[in-house]
Amino acid sequence: MSELVSLLDRLSQLAATPLLVSLAISIVFILLFRNWRLALPALIVQYVIVGIMLARVIEPGVALIKPLAGALVCMALSIAAQRADDVRARRGESVAVERIRHVAWRSVPAQVLLRAIAATLVLTAAFGATGRFPLPGGARELGLGAYMLLASGLLLIAITPEALNIGVGLLMFISGVELGYTPLEPSISVSVLLGFMTLAVGIAISYLTLADGGALVEPSRHKHPPSDTALTAPTQES
């Protein structure tokens, strides 16, 4: 653990620009590619970058909480997404790995282009906001990172229908809040509580990802319909 802390400490002394560029790349990657097999590794990388940026204003040992919590959340999300994919595969629907192996090249340019334009607009707006409405705390590079994460998190929440991607947007939004707030109150308790918050939201999103993929209760295991039919959502729109 001490090696990790000292590594984070050394990385935090890097110039701000490479960190911000890496953060922007991870954000664009997540916004462009909704496939969880691509988005979740990018999210882990993003958590590491956020951890390094936090280590510039708080103790590296405390900043380490963020990447650790993020890695745990990504692990839980990937397990949930894999299970949902297993159920989808049994139903004969397309799953993440299939979409990577057999890319539908005809539809890709239109989708990616639209998202790329939205991502560019959002990142430009974040850059403009950093200059015009600088966040308090004096750490300008953290302010830019916070704006980028907040704006792109909101964009992802607004434009995706899947529970997993909305969840990734929420987690990016929380990372943005953390980058913006930590310089204002650089205490252990805030970092611990925000790390706990990331874990709690991550667990909730994992559960919702399972539900969205139809993997909470597998129908084949039930000979009879479940008795909790009071839970059934109204299925027919009048």
Partner 1 sequence: MIPASLLIVLAPIAAAVPALLLRRWRLLETLAALIGCAVVIFLLVYSPDAPLRLGDVIIQSSAPLNILGRELTVRPYDRLPLLLIYIVAAIVFALGARIAQGWTFIPLGLGILAALSVALMIRPFVFAGLALEAAAAMSAIMIQAERNGKGSATGALRYLIIFTLALPAFLGAGYAADRASGVADLALQAEAYAPAAILLCIALGLVFGAFPAFTWTHPVAKDAPPLATAFLASVGVAAAGFLFLGFAQDFAWFRDQPFVGDFMNLLGLLTLVLGATLGWAQRSLGRVLAAGISVEVGCMFLLLSHTAPLTVEALAFGTVARAVSLGVFALGIAMIRERAGSDEFINIAGQGRLQPWAALAIGIGGMSLAGLPGTVGFVSRWTTARVIGVHDLEALVLILVAGASVGVGMVRGLSALYATVPATSLDTEVTPISAARPNMRGRAALVTLAIALIIALGIAPGITESIIQPISSNYTFYK
Tell me whether residue 75 or residue 154 sits nearer to partner 1 (CB atom): 154
Establish if 192 lies at the interface with partner 1 (CB under 8 A). Answer: yes
The single residue among 2, 13, 220, 235 that binds partner 1, judged by CB under 8 A, is 235
Establish if 217 lies at the interface with partner 1 (CB under 8 A). Answer: yes
Could you tell me the two tokens for 75? 């692990």
Could you tell me the two tokens for 46? 């993003």
Establish if 85 lies at the interface with partner 1 (CB under 8 A). Answer: no
Half-sphere exposure of 77 (CA within 13 A, CB side): 32
Establish if 89 lies at the interface with partner 1 (CB under 8 A). Answer: no
With 0-12 / 13-18 / 19 or more C-beta atoms within 10 angstroms meaning exposed / middle / buried, residue 42 is: buried
The single residue among 30, 163, 168, 179 that binds partner 1, judged by CB under 8 A, is 163
Helix, strand or coil, per DSSP, at residue 46 = helix
Nearest approach, Cβ of residue 225 and partner 1 (Å): 6
Tell me whether residue 16 or residue 211 sits nearer to partner 1 (CB atom): 211
Q: How many other C-beta atoms are found inside a 10 Å radius of the C-beta of residue 230?
A: 5
User: Helix 188-212 to helix 65-90 angle, to the nearest 10 degrees?
Assistant: 0
**Are 173 and 45 contacting, i.e. CB atoms less than 8 angstroms apart?**
no
Q: List contacts with partner 1 (CB under 8 A).
A: 136, 150, 157, 161, 163, 166-167, 170, 173-174, 177, 180-181, 184-185, 187-189, 192-194, 196-197, 200-201, 203-205, 207-208, 211-217, 224-238
